[in-house]
Amino acid sequence: MKAAVYQGNHAVAVENVSTPDIGPGELLVKVESCGICHTDLKKIEYDLLPGPRIYGHETAGTVVAAGAGVTNFQPGDRVIAFHHIPCSDCFYCDRKLYAQCPVYKKVGITAGFEPAGGGFAQYIRVMDWIVRRGVEKIPDGVSFDRACFVEPVNTCLKAVVQCDPQPGDCVVVMGQGPIGLLFTSLVRRRGADVVVTDTIARRRDLAVQFGAAAAWDPRSTDVVANVKARSGGRGADLVIVATSAPGLIEQAVRSSRPGSRILLFSQTSDKERIEVSGADICVGERMIFGSYSASVDLQKESADLVFSGALPVEDLISHRVPLNQISAGFDLARHPDEVSLKIIVQPQRWL
């Protein structure tokens, strides 16, 4: 089969590799769509893990083989698969901190080499503990491109549940890429007043369609003053930092009121550093916290949001690229233009 193999030292190349073999309890899935996620891009850009490995984890496809003992799935089923599933029986699982569970940290999907998600390949092997709890069937009439949003929607939904925005809260979402737009839609569904920032005009326009009351270019708008004007001079009740750029977290603190919450969602590299006033946090009684990856508790809900069309995720797709053009897709995701948003890799296509 063909696969985009991360070779180390920031290099990715499409190569011929062996189609994975499966064992008892496992599935072989033909990958039809896999979204490009910035967490994978950061692993490549910062060379965070050694190669070779095959990334890609926002995966949708068709079961082509089922191992002995698999009863819930059969060849021909259209599915999405989560690459992490917790044990549900450890210190962290007891506290619903699933992303810190040692079993959760084990990647349960591979296209070969060290398991790394594998969605940037034509076939993936889904391991037994993922098959038992981390695979959802795609309903008839739902495209693979739409279905591959279930995992990223879950990560955003998990964060929104942690943030717990209330009706009438003033919420700022910084960054309106695909993840930021999902946050805008999910927070607006909670009844909050959502305002957003982004430097790209089309993304600001989409944010309004997704429920934002206002969308500002931070280069030409005094974000702090505008947020305070909307909130009786106090500042935002909640700020979600949905992108990664120098100075954003400091701006989030300045935009927020005393006693507010500030969620860091995109700061996933240990090379990223932030510096804020200790008094702004301590004396101002602000809470800065993070949310990372998906929650098994929200798996069904996130699937329903995507499959039902309650979230217009297909409006986020700007490009669909064949596997042999994946490097161009990565470059576009790293350096978005006025048009680019979510980029979907379709491994079965070849141009």
What pLDDT does 91 receive? 98
Cβ neighbours for 332, distance < 8 A, ≥ 6 positions apart: 319, 340, 343
Per the prediction, the chain carries an average pLDDT of: 96
Q: What average pLDDT score do residues 293-303 get?
A: 98
Main-chain dihedrals φ then ψ at residue 254, nearest 5 degrees: -65, -30
What pLDDT does 351 receive? 73
Query: Looking at 89-98, 230-239, 265-274, 330-339, which range is the least confident one?
Result: 265-274
- Binning pLDDT at 50, 70 and 90, where does residue 266 land? very high
pLDDT digit string (tens) for 131-147? 999 999 999 999 999 99
pLDDT digit string (tens) for 185-214? 999 999 999 999 999 999 999 999 999 999
Q: What average pLDDT score do residues 55-59 get?
A: 98
What pLDDT does 345 receive? 98
- Binning pLDDT at 50, 70 and 90, where does residue 22 land? very high
Q: Where are the beta strands (DSSP E) in the chain?
A: 2-8, 11-16, 27-35, 58-66, 78-81, 109-110, 123-126, 135-137, 170-174, 193-197, 214-216, 236-241, 256-264, 287-290, 317-322, 342-346
Res. 271: pLDDT tops 90: no
Cβ pair 298, 146 in contact under 8 A: no
Q: What average pLDDT score do residues 208-236 get?
A: 97
Q: What average pLDDT score do residues 175-185 get?
A: 98
pLDDT digit string (tens) for 301-317? 999 999 999 999 999 99
Res. 224: pLDDT tops 90: yes
| Cα distances (Å, whole numbers) of residue 348 to 40, 70, 83, 343 | 20, 25, 20, 15
- Binning pLDDT at 50, 70 and 90, where does residue 68 land? very high
> Percentage of the chain with pLDDT > 70?
100
Res. 268: pLDDT tops 90: no
Res. 165: pLDDT tops 90: yes
What pLDDT does 229 receive? 97
> Percentage of the chain with pLDDT > 90?
94
Cβ pair 204, 198 in contact under 8 A: yes
What pLDDT does 236 receive? 98
What pLDDT does 347 receive? 98
What is the set of domains in the chain, with CATH numbers?
2-149+311-346 (3.90.180.10), 154-290 (3.40.50.720)
The closest of 178, 192, 183, 207 to 342, measured between CA atoms, is 178
